[in-house]
Amino acid sequence: MKPSIFSHIPCGQTLPVNNIHAVSVSMPTLQEVIDYEENTNGIHEKITSAYPRFLLHPYLKRMAIFLQEKYKISDQYEIVVVSSQKAVQLISDKYYIHNPIVIDEPFGVILVMRGTCQLQKVLTYIQHVGCNLSSRFAQDYLYKHGLLDILHEEELEEDSTSEEILISTLANAYEQPISNICLAPSGMNAVYSVLEGLKAIQQRNNRDILVQLGWLYLDTMNIVKNHYNQSKLFYDINALDELEAYLKIKGNNVSAVITELPTNPLLITVDVVRLKKLCDTYNIPLVIDSTFATPYNLNLKPYADICIESLTKYACGNADVLMGAVIINENSKLACCSPEFFKHADKPYIKDIQRLAFQVQNYESRMKKINANATKLVAYLKTKSFIDNIYYALDDTNKENYSKLMRYEDAIGGVISLTFTKSFEKVYDTLNFAKGPSLGTEFTLLMPYVYLAHYDLIICEDGREILEENNIPIDLMRVAVGIEDIDEIIREFEKLDSI
């Protein structure tokens, strides 16, 4: 038998391997995932780079040391580097940080007193609003100042045409004008920009309640909770009867409904036709995170006033660019207000745009390959006794709602979530796919979703009850299907027969 194309990737290795701009990191055993969450067993000596919003990139650490020396900054301060002066003002105002520093740099610097609780608050806020400084910017800055000997080699589009290529590709895919699309340095910065725009527009209309429909991505829920005046949460995305009853009372005070299609990680699709009718009845904008849907799989134009996409995922395909996009529907009443949303987004670094412009040209073909593999993988897994449950977009629970949005028959999407009849730890440790956070990669990527996204809920009784109430299994493995030979992917899963 020929050897598998998949092999063990050591803990701490970047994903993709040997890529300093990678947004994922290998966590090949469940114990290493737990060590990462609990910061034990010297795990952070192994994991020095990870998803940039969650773990400070090593180049940013080197920049902070250099800036401390360059500007003679006292050791009593922690230096936090952010994407812009606008971000500095935003964070300083929120946390009453008044440690002014005069710098001549094309980015922002915040000084936070060491030994205070402010630092963690600032870092968490940056994580939520996505105003990180680009690793490519940091690389170029360090190289310019003689602190790096070489630059990471990668394929880039031309500076002069890259932004046009990227935005026009998205415009064609979403069937929207170029002027209705705005890039942001991360998906969360795109979410933040939309919510800030909604606040500014809707407060004039006495609408200050944001409705969250569904158990959404962790930081989307955090930004709804922490950055909006009032919010109403419906964790059950199918609770449209309850939503309708709520809107009969509060509909005229709701600024927007935000949801995902399908949801992360259970791939649930709301009856978006009914949801759109409810929103229209009360003149409420519908905001949809379309990252899982992608514009090539689902047609959301008849329903979404605004789409938000994390371009880090499928648009990139290689997990080495952090970027997001806001897409305003030309048919929405909000279309005339696009500057009110776009002004809150930081501009991505040009080399990130160049890299993504190169990658996005394969976006559509990438999705077709991923869809084809996911369809075959689901068919195989349905026959296996080691599988307890398969969550996917076209399962019996979701097929009716999802299929009416599909652009073509096999547009199943690239994410499958699984539970097993065998030990979760043994299953996770046995499989030699890449294992770590993120999704949308051309290489198959496994993630122990609840352990990495909601570990705080696992370790307490109240948290476990919340997970159970929302039907989210602790031992859930999210599979982001890649474009490898499907027979090789299946052959790797066959190892589970013998554990």
pLDDT tens for each residue of 233-271: 999 999 999 999 999 999 999 999 999 999 999 999 999
Query: Distance between CA 429 and CA 30 in Å, rounded?
Result: 7
Average pLDDT over residues 41-62: 80
Percent of the chain with pLDDT over 70: 99
pLDDT band of 132, cuts 50, 70, 90: confident
Least confident residue range of 60-69, 200-209, 217-226, 438-447: 217-226
Domain range list for the chain: 58-131, 159-362, 364-498
CATH of domain 364-498: 3.90.1150.10
3-class secondary structure, 366: helix
Contacts of 23 (CB under 8 A, 6+ apart): 50, 51, 52, 312, 319, 320, 321, 322, 437, 438
pLDDT exceeds cutoff 80 at 356: yes
Query: Residue 44 has what pLDDT?
Result: 81
Query: Residue 70 has what pLDDT?
Result: 94
Q: Which residue has the higher pLDDT, 493 or 93?
A: 493
pLDDT band of 54, cuts 50, 70, 90: low
Average pLDDT over residues 318-322: 97
Q: Are the folds of 159-362 and 364-498 the same?
A: no
Query: Distance between CA 185 and CA 324 in Å, rounded?
Result: 6
Residue owning tokens 């080699």: 153
The H or E element spanning position 143 is helix 135-144
Task: Record the pTM.
Answer: 0.95
pLDDT band of 290, cuts 50, 70, 90: very high
71 CB neighbour count, 10 Å cutoff? 15
Class in CATH terms, 159-362: alpha beta
Q: What is the DSSP secondary-structure string of 382-446?
A: TT-TTEEEEE-TTSTTTHHHHHTTBSSTT---SEEEEEESS-HHHHHHH--SEESS----SS-EE
Query: Residue 120 has what pLDDT?
Result: 85
pLDDT exceeds cutoff 80 at 53: no
* Mean of the per-residue pLDDT values of the chain: 95
Q: What is the pLDDT of residues 94-125, one digit of tens each?
A: 888 877 788 889 999 999 988 888 888 888 88
pLDDT exceeds cutoff 80 at 79: yes
Query: Residue 345 has what pLDDT?
Result: 94
Q: What is the pLDDT of residues 364-392, one digit of tens each?
A: 999 999 999 999 999 999 999 999 999 99
Q: Tell me the CB-side half-sphere exposure of residue 301, using CA atoms within 13 A.
A: 16
